[in-house]
A = this chain, B = another copy of it.
């Protein structure tokens, strides 16, 4: 089992969030095939934990699910941006909170089959509240939930965003 050789690559579309490229690849055994792969710059996700063990989360409408989702704060990396600086920036833009302490927990691919997006998940602590400053076309509301409520919110489906499930379960599993 080894990576396929990418023989050629052409851009089919370029938008503000991702580009769509088509690869010609050589499969094991030598046959050729075509793969559509989104080109995404990556993202940072933040698990902001307050001193009294609450998680800072955001609610926002998402076009993909066509519903309002409850999520960990997150955002796309600017070109060349350090994932940790992105995490601190997005946390403050979306929720107003500044974190004095931050560290990387893990990195993960949300849809490795068809998108290059790699997500870095950070734990943010020593939080100071402030005023959110979202992008002009971003509408988010901040909510705090006790960590002890999170597992129930995942099993009932109130939390159904995958990066949020993976991040919060990772954090609770490694805290024990």
Q: Which residues of A are interface residues toward B (Cβ below 8 A)?
A: 1-4, 6, 12-13, 15-18, 20, 23, 25, 27-28, 31, 33, 35-38, 59-69, 71, 106-119, 137, 139, 141, 151, 154-155, 157, 160-163, 165-166, 169-170, 172-174
A1-B61, A170-B154 as given contacts; A117 in contact with B106, CB under 8 Å: no
Q: How far is the CB of A24 from chain B (nearest CB, A)?
A: 11
CA distance A35 to B112 in the complex (A): 22
A1-B141, A4-B61, A68-B2 as given contacts; A109 in contact with B161, CB under 8 Å: yes
CA distance A23 to B118 in the complex (A): 25
Contact A160 B106 (CB under 8 A): yes
Considering only CB atoms, which chain B residue lies closest to A116 in the complex? B64
Considering only CB atoms, which chain B residue lies closest to A33 in the complex? B137
